[in-house]
Copies of this chain bind each other. A is one copy, B any other.
Amino acid sequence: MSTINIQILADTLNISKSTVSKALRDSHEISKETKKKVKELAAKMNYSPNPYASSLRKKKSRTIAVVMPEIADSFFSLAINGIQSVAEKKGYHVLIYLSHEKYTNEKKILGEVRNGRVDGILISISKETKNEEPIDKILAAGVPVVFFDRELESVHTASVTTNDYECGYVAAKLLLQKGCRRLLFISHSASLPICKKREAGFRMALLDAGCPEKKGQVIYGTDNEKSNYQLIKKSLAAKQRPDAILASVEKIAIQVYIAAQELGLKIPEELKVLAFSNLETAPILNPSLTTVTQPAFEIGKSAATILFKGIEKKHFRLENERVIIPSVLIERRSTSI
């Protein structure tokens, strides 16, 4: 922290601390001449005011928090880009917190950002989160909260999500149209609303096509990458192996590709693959990957825009804001005949 403080400025100019402080804040109580002297000395001595003193005075931190499960994932890094694009224009600082998919981490983070550290919070909940209490406490403290992508539906506040149910449906429908009959949906969570919706869409497409779901057509990954990989490999090595896989997230699709390579299974001839993914490399994979591409940047940008309305407008009703930005199905070689 700087060793230059208001006391030193005051001593050097032989005036009071309060005069220095008021001069720096452009108070009408201080003469033009004194303001000029103080500001010139402050610039010369490389002094800038402590931001937290200003936060306390104005009851604004000019900071928002983003709480999310992880960052090394195309969706989340693009979403942050969208959030930052808004925060930068507003002149706001952005604190990033990772829950690593653990509810206890998320609860701890939320406990720490209550009461003044931030003016608002953007959150994409962890896989484990079912309890609304930590978020309700923040809302009760008057701090706006907006969900992006992963929401907790029981909490009454704004959310920006995508059309997960429809996308699960069209993805499964495409695989069925390609002649696949033993579809497997590999989901990264049995409880996250986004995953449940994708799963429900998948099931409905099977039903509509007259292919009622068989046992084991939906399986769930864990947080352990190795055990996920084993699970995928076991499925693909089974006698009645799937002829198509729908992956709920890019990490799973990558593992499916590696497992298929190892087992000598040809994509798309012997196995079709489709994934919910924002991978920049989808077009140059071997083979290029058919994706449901989420509007990651737009989701981040829209959520941040709503959050700032909540911060700036006193009577803005967050709970009325439920934005759904549609994803896009992009067909590539991994589902061609």
Is A261 touching B284 in the complex (CB atoms < 8 A)?
A: yes
Say if the beta carbon of A204 comes within 8 Å of chain B. no
Q: Which of A80, A94, A114, A117 has the most CB of B within 10 A?
A: A117
Is A285 touching B285 in the complex (CB atoms < 8 A)?
A: yes
Say if the beta carbon of A217 comes within 8 Å of chain B. no
> CB < 8 Å: which of B53, B117, B287 contacts A51?
B117
Is B286 touching A141 in the complex (CB atoms < 8 A)?
A: no
Given A56-B53, A71-B81, decide whether A95 and B98 contact each other with a Cβ distance below 8 A.
Answer: no
Q: Closest CB of chain B to A11's CB: distance in Å? A: 18
CA of A97 to CA of B74 in the docked complex: distance in angstroms?
A: 18
Choose the segment among A41-49, A159-167, A190-198 that binds chain B (4+ C-beta atoms closer than 8 Å). A41-49
CA of A98 to CA of B46 in the docked complex: distance in angstroms?
A: 24
Is B49 touching A52 in the complex (CB atoms < 8 A)?
A: no
> CB < 8 Å: which of B72, B111, B284 contacts A48?
B111
Choose the segment among A13-21, A31-39, A230-238, A275-283 that binds chain B (4+ C-beta atoms closer than 8 Å). A275-283
B residues in contact with A125, CB < 8 Å: none
When all copies of this chain in the complex are counted, the total is: 2
Q: Which of A72, A94, A114, A288 has the most CB of B within 10 A?
A: A72
Is A284 touching B254 in the complex (CB atoms < 8 A)?
A: yes
Say if the beta carbon of A96 comes within 8 Å of chain B. yes
Q: Closest CB of chain B to A78's CB: distance in Å? A: 5
Is B52 touching A116 in the complex (CB atoms < 8 A)?
A: yes
B residues in contact with A283, CB < 8 Å: 258
Say if the beta carbon of A22 comes within 8 Å of chain B. no
17 A-B pairs within 8 Å (CB atoms) are namely A1-B59, A1-B60, A1-B142, A2-B141, A4-B141, A48-B114, A50-B56, A52-B52, A52-B116, A63-B95, A71-B77, A72-B74, A94-B96, A95-B95, A254-B281, A254-B284, A286-B288
Can you add 8 more A-B contacts, CB < 8 Å, to A72-B80, A93-B97, A286-B286? Answer: A1-B119, A3-B142, A50-B116, A72-B81, A73-B77, A93-B95, A94-B97, A281-B285
Which residues of A line the B interface, CB within 8 A? 1-4, 46-53, 55-56, 59-61, 63, 70-74, 77-78, 80-81, 84, 88, 93-98, 111-112, 114-117, 119, 137, 140-143, 254, 257-258, 261, 279-281, 283-288
Closest 8 CB pairs of A and B: A286-B286, A52-B52, A50-B116, A2-B141, A257-B284, A72-B77, A281-B281, A52-B55
